Amino acid sequence: MHRHRSRCSQASRERKPRGGQKRTSLHRHFALRIPPPRPRRAVWRILSCKMPRLSRRELFSCIAAAGVAESVAGSFRHALSATPSSAQAMKIASFEVIPTRVGMRESVREAWISAWRLQNRFQEDYEVTVVKLTSDEGLVGVCNAAMPAARATQLAKSMVGRSPWEYLLDDSIGGLLIAVYDLIGQASGLPVSRLFSPKPQDKVIQTWWSQCFPPDVMASEAKRGYDLGYRVHKVKARPWEDPIEQAAAIAEAVPPDMRVWADANAWWRTVGRTMHFVEELANFAHYFAIESPFRREHIDGYRMLKGTSPLQVAEHMPSDPMPFVNERLLVAFVIGGPIGRTLVQRALMAEVTGIPLWVEHSIECGVNKVFQAHQSAAFPGIEYTISIDHVLADDLMKEDFPVENGFYSPPTGPGLGVTFDMDAVERFRV
């Protein structure tokens, strides 16, 4: 565990904004390759404990400098206006970093480790870096930093003495951005979803997930997910397990309203092999889509699948998605992080293009999964949210994550609306 409190610095310093950076356009409305310039002086000032807090005007400058669509900027401005003046001026006063390692749930542990070893991945647990950011108003924002504890400590230390509002949409701080939004939501009295949209949806489609398990384990996992209320299931397809046998086992275990898509992670490699599996999987009413059948650089292969595959086709968003967009080669883009400006740009792009996102950027603990749900509720362009914490030994979250008929309703209270189960965190601390 690492703790840090702000100390007076000898002098305030300023970071120079990136000057002369030429921005290119990926799409007329969205610049995805090169991020916009960093906010100006008021935003990048490094604060010491003797420095004045940011003024209301400077805070609005932070929002303007975030450089996002008016719909999102308007939500940020509303949150700032809803925040009491004392909380508007709050700074991050201290932080706590707790490294943990969480293993797999016992019922899937052996099969999961075996599948990973076949992929030359020798791992038996996940690193969850619990972080708490405490403001000088006494508010506590939480997150899994999704990075090693040493890096999280370094970043959190640099944030002490600064306003959470300075970090709006800042991709560079990784999962710490979740704790920032938690602080801002608590200060404004708004749920995190309303930081991004004035009228977020009240529920999102949460997806069940399975590694490439043997058919019997895949069937038991599908049933477990169905019994817990999930109605969409993402399954991994690999050469050492027959995806057709997996599909047959799932079909025996759950009703056809459990919709399934198979993620091959490019292991099917060719169009011919892909079509072989797709035509077989299409015989099962549960299956509706495939993901990443072969490398996305093989765009001619996706052109060949268009109009011939009986199942829908999704792929991870490449650096230049426009060929896929212009030719309508996919039904969805799958995306992970970053979770700030990049996510917002991609979500707004999905609304414009009509090609939705299947999001899996916050997958390893319950707190981050709830943030992902908040963010997904704010953007109509996000169709599915995916996580894997249900197959880990513990989600480290105090609250439940109820799913009913495939839907999860994000909390409506201030901030994330959830927090860590510190007893569980202590059990998995390293």
pLDDT tens digit sequence for 214-226: 999 999 999 999 9
In 292-346, beta strands by DSSP E:
312-316, 332-335
Predicted TM-score (pTM) of this structure: 0.85
Residue 215, in any domain of the structure: yes
Indicate whether 17 belongs to any domain.
Answer: no
Question: Does 428 map to a domain?
Answer: no
- Rounded to the nearest integer, the mean pLDDT of the chain is 88
Contact between 264 and 246 (Cβ < 8 Å): no
The tally of domains found in the chain comes to 1
Which regions of 64-111 does DSSP assign to beta strands (E)?
92-103
Within-domain flag for 135: no
State which residues form the domain around 287. 204-421
pLDDT digits (tens, 9 = 90+) for 261-289: 999 999 999 999 999 999 999 999 999 99
What is the per-residue pLDDT for 78? Answer: 86
Does any domain span residue 125? Answer: no
Helix, strand, or coil (residue 332):
strand
Lowest-confidence range among 12-26, 308-322, 325-339, 377-391?
12-26
Side-chain-side CA neighbours of 238 within 13 Å: the count stands at 18
CATH code, domain with 341: 3.20.20.120
Q: What is the pLDDT of residues 25-40, one digit of tens each?
A: 333 333 333 333 333 3
Please check whether residue 195 lies inside any domain of the structure: no
Q: Tell me, yes or no, whether 417 lies in a domain.
A: yes
Q: 153 vs 12, which has greater pLDDT? A: 153
**Domain-embedded: residue 223:** yes
Q: Percent of the chain scored above 90 by pLDDT?
A: 79
Model confidence at 76, pLDDT cuts 50, 70, 90, reads: confident
SS3 55: coil
Token pair for 248 = 């047959």
Cα 335 from Cα 342, distance rounded (Å): 10
Which residues in 238-259 are b (16+ Cβ under 10 Å) and which e?
beebebbebbbbbbebbeeebb
With a cut of 90, say whether residue 169 has pLDDT above it: yes
Tokens of 321: 């998605």
Counting Cα atoms < 13 Å in the Cβ hemisphere of 88 gives: 19
Asked if 195 and 184 touch (Cβ cutoff 8 Å), the reply is: yes
Q: Which stretches does DSSP call E strand in 200-299?
A: 204-210, 232-236, 259-263, 287-291
Query: In terms of Cα–Cα distance, which of 79, 52, 355 is closest to 197?
Result: 79
